[in-house]
Amino acid sequence: MPSYVVTGVSKGLGWEFLNQLSSDPKNTVVGIVRNKPPTDARVASELRGRSNIKILEADLTNYDQLKRAASETAEITGGSLDYLFANAAYVTSFDTYDGIGVLGQKPQELSEEFRQLMETNVLANIHLYNLFMPLILKGDAKKVVVITSGLADIDWTNEYDLETTALYATSKAAMNMITAKFNAQYKKDGVLFLSVCPGLVEVGHFQDPSPKERETFRKMLVKFSKYAPNFKRPDTPEVAIKAVLWVVHSSSIKDGDGGRFLSHFKNKQWL
């Protein structure tokens, strides 16, 4: 019975991970959320009868709560874990529509948002990896995956002048490096670490923009269309997670995939 842990399963991509992975009754799927009761209620309503789902409560930025979640997971799975998906992330609207120079006009808010992004998207995941590593080392698949973003690609940023989402992209770039460093340490133990971008997915981040924000978003889509002429619109979570799972299941240390930063196409094509 393959076992999975996914953080941030209450909504968006995390919920779709929970849905797709638990559709196979042979899988044991542990979801970690900050607020357990609403997620339990949603599971009971929308994924009724899936006894292979276990929801645990932990704030990603609370080390003691994460440690407890790792211990509870060990009890559920018998002390091992096959797959760990670091999906939960802090996404700010602060940098969505303005470049880093404009953001600098609000230094206090920039500092606060940057610290929150780095604490949640990077430091918390370092603790997550370390706390669950004893279970992963006893697992069969031994795969650890962080959900990242193509916006963290320096070459793509420079070639297409992608000036927005500077702080968020920086946190993802940092986590890509952390994942590569974990790979460097644990590859010899048979653990595969991956950073996988799900593409551009519609999970409600671009709802109700102002006229100025709508124009900025339009310009960004024009750049995306030049980069990927076949790109029409963001993917649905269902399509995105199917692609991510294909990348994960088709990747291996043997094939040289350890520590790689990949798109949902298993290359560097982000859209």
Range list of β-strands (E), 116-219: 143-147, 192-196
What whole-number distance in Å separates Cα of residue 59 and Cα of residue 10? Answer: 12
Q: Residue 180 pairs with which residues in a beta bridge?
A: none
Range list of β-strands (E), 44-117: 53-57, 83-86
Q: Which of the residues 54, 143, 172, 186 is marked catalytic? A: 172
Q: Is 254 a catalytic residue?
A: no
Q: Is 226 a catalytic residue?
A: no
Cβ neighbors of 226 (< 8 A, separation 6 or more) are 160
Nearest residue to 182 via CA among 137, 216, 231, 234: 137
At 4, which helix (H) or strand (E)? Answer: strand 3-7
- Contact (CB, 8 A) for 87 and 33: no
CA dihedral 95, 201, 13, 261 (to 10 degrees): -80
Nearest-10 crossing angle of helices 63-77, 124-137: 20
Q: Which of the residues 4, 83, 97, 168 is marked catalytic? A: 168
Q: Which residues are catalytic?
A: 168, 172
